[in-house]
Structure 1
Amino acid sequence: MRSITKMVIVGAVAGTVAVSGVVGAVAADRTAAAPGGTAAAPKALTADDTPPPAVEDFAYPGADQIFADRGIRLKSGDGHIVLVPCAPGLLEVDARNMAETDKVGGGRFCFTTTGTSGRLSLELPSTYAVSTSDYSVHLVMVNGTETKIHDLKPGTWNKVGELTDPQQRPFTLMEITTSK
């Protein structure tokens, strides 16, 4: 019993010494930094001292570089639809007149969905064909003030945009939504 009491007392003394040392060091810092060697009052926190709030803007990571490299503007989404190198079994979107702009795929863009659903806001001009993966795909496309919606079944090739327009006008793909 004595040894336990001794250990508690030794621990308490050691803790007090450690805290006193830290407090003394802080006080010495303030005294040395204050004009005339007197203890400085603690600085009041201002709005500039606090970090900005962590707010998710859902912007697509690396979007500016992807636009520079490939000509597709990826805006925002839920993070579940991701642009990836093309391979079989992915969502593939084809756009005309991208050979000069898109040195990687020449206008062929592939996406994967993680999870059971996803949403991606983007701008891809002159989209004309889409091959779906094992997800249903909902597309929103625009031409000026006209909007076209395409609901596509899983595992299918589909004509969209100008290929479904009687006047063969180009449409810009604005949103992709996927679901299982």
Structure 2
Amino acid sequence: MGALAALSGLSNPAVGAPQAVAAGELPGFAVEDFRYPNADGVLQEKGIVLKRGDGHVTLADCGSASGLLQIMRRPEDAVPVCFKVTGDSGFLTLEIPSVYGVKGNDYDTTVDMTVGSEKKSFTVTPNQWTPVGETTDPTGREFMLVEIRMQK
């Protein structure tokens, strides 16, 4: 009878046994949308749009670490924009207008840029400055950086 009393205590809420949850009360599923966190604040502070990525390419303070990817943009006195990469690969979609140079790091890096409806990809030389966008365009059109892809 002791076993029966113990079993009956499992269905007794006063004993502290878990209760069944109604189907309508279950929490929703978390869905990763890969949106960049605090993108609105970055837009206000730095004037760049960070859209989405895999979390391996993140905005960094230039000079905060070695091995950062550096982006130069117009106007010429604009502060460079830097990104840190973690892991073996990463990607980030974004919008940085008037980009004309990228300093690579140890990763194989490709940047996609647009001017009007035209899209161009540039391979960034590791650990060196690579001219991109308007510096490679015969008419000097201003290009927008729209994606960074990095891989070891």
Q: TM-score, normalised by structure 2?
A: 0.84
2:146 aligned with 1:170, yes or no? no
Q: CA deviation at 1:59?
A: 0.6
Gaps of 5+ in 2: none
**Aligned with 1:112: secondary structure?**
strand
| 1:112 correspondence with 2:84 | yes
Q: RMSD over aligned Cα, in angstroms?
A: 2.7
1:147 to 119, 124, 147: 119
| Higher RCO (CA < 8 A, seq sep 6+) | 2
List per-residue Cα deviations over 1:52-101 (Å, max 9, x = no partner): 211110011111111111111111011110111112431100111386xx
Deviations, residues 105-126 of structure 1 (Å, cap 9, x unaligned): x341111110111100000000
Higher helix share: 1
1:67 to 12, 23, 43: 43
SS at structure 1 position matched to 2:23: coil
Q: Which runs of 5+ in 1 are unaligned?
A: 1-8, 27-41, 100-105
TM-score, with structure 1 as normaliser: 0.72
Q: Quick check: 1:16 aligned with 2:6? A: yes
**Structure 1 residues 52 and 108: CA distance shift in structure 2, 3 A:** same
* 2:105 counterpart residue number: 133
Q: What pairs with 1:25-44 in structure 2 (closer than 5 Å)?
A: 25=14
Change (3 A) 1:45 1:129: same
